[in-house]
Amino acid sequence: MTYQYAYPHPAVTTDVAVFTLQNQQLQLLLVRRARAPYAGSWALPGGFLDIREDLEACARRELLEETGVSDLYIEQLYTFGHPERDPRERVISVTYYALVPSDRTRLHPGSDAADAAWFAIDDLPDLAFDHAAIIELARERLAAKTLYSTIIFQLMPETFTLSELQSVYEILRREQLDKRNFRKWILGLDRLEETGAKRRNGNHRPAKIYRVKNPGLIEYIR
């Protein structure tokens, strides 16, 4: 069966840049392409839009099918449509970025992709299509959001120490922050509470453990 149109139609895909934090590094989720073009290359999870499917639903579905990751924070990033960006046919890609807390990064790659894996953001393999540009834009957007939004809490596990949280901000902004000023600022947002527990983690004083007060809420700050 084929589908006919009076005028040529581009294909539409969604692609998602999924970030998490592991080993004190910002990590990105990639899938190895099973088929041409770019067979064997790594790429962002994503794929073709079903004709009755919402755009964000497509992004979430492809992500689930290819990597097993679901239930994450996701937001539209930008739409890429350079006429030559896919060698097969004209493809418009509506891209998203997403954040997974570091305690929910287990992968169950499905049949669509041969493999799925996390990569440190500063050590990515060669990427299919224009996916390197998509990732760079997503990283910039995320860094900018650390300045005026509480979106970063979406990257945190259930509980964490203030030092761990500070290191997330430092990784995203690519700069060191002053410990006392950071603590004053982040506690002043009134979005963290102590759990009462402490974490022993090496031969030194244990750290207080915090949780986010209202984890789903993303606020504009400053």
Partner DNA sequence: GTTACTAAGTGTTAAACATACACTATATAA
Partner DNA sequence: TTATATAGTGTATGTTTAACACTTAGTAAC
CA angle 100-152-164, nearest 5°? 90
Which residue in 35, 82, 174, 198 binds a second copy (CB under 8 A)?
82
- The residue among 85, 91, 108 whose CA lies nearest residue 47 is 91
Q: How far is the CB of 18 from a second copy (least distance, A)?
A: 19
Alpha-carbon distance of 79 to 96, in angstroms, equals: 9
Residue among 25, 38, 53, 72 that touches a second copy (CB under 8 A):
53
Pairing outcome for strands 159-160 and 115-120: unpaired
Closest contact distance (angstroms) between CB of 101 and DNA is 19
Helix (H, G, I), strand (E, B) or coil at 155: helix
> How far is Cα 6 from Cα 171, in angstroms, rounded to an integer?
50
Q: Supply 105's token pair.
A: 């990064």
Residues 6+ apart with CB under 8 A from 1: none
- Of the pair 50, 178, the CB lying nearest DNA is at 178
d(CA 116, CA 160): 27
By CB under 8 A, residue 90 contacts a second copy = yes
Q: What is the smallest separation between the CB atom of 178 and a second copy, expressed in angstroms? A: 20
Question: x/- site string to DNA, residues 136 to 175, per CB under 7 A?
Answer: -------------------------xxx------------
Judged by phi (left if over 0) then psi (alpha if -120 to 50, else beta), residue 38 lies in left
Interface residue with DNA, options 52, 88, 106, 204 (CB under 7 A): 204
Which CB sits closer to DNA, 25 or 161?
Answer: 161
In angstroms, what is the minimal distance from the CB of 123 to DNA? 23
Cis status, amide bond into 109, omega within 30 of 0:
no
As measured in angstroms, the least distance from the Cβ of 67 to a second copy is 22
Interface mask (CB under 7 A) for DNA, residues 86-125, using x and -? ----------------------------------------
96's CB contacts (< 8 A; 6+ apart) are: 14, 15, 16, 17, 56, 59, 74, 75, 76, 77
Which parts of 155-194 interact with a second copy (CB under 8 A)? none
- Chain residues binding a second copy by CB under 8 A are 2-12, 48-49, 51-55, 76, 78-79, 81-83, 90, 92, 94
Residues that bind DNA (CB under 7 A): 161-163, 178-181, 183-185, 198, 200, 202-208, 222
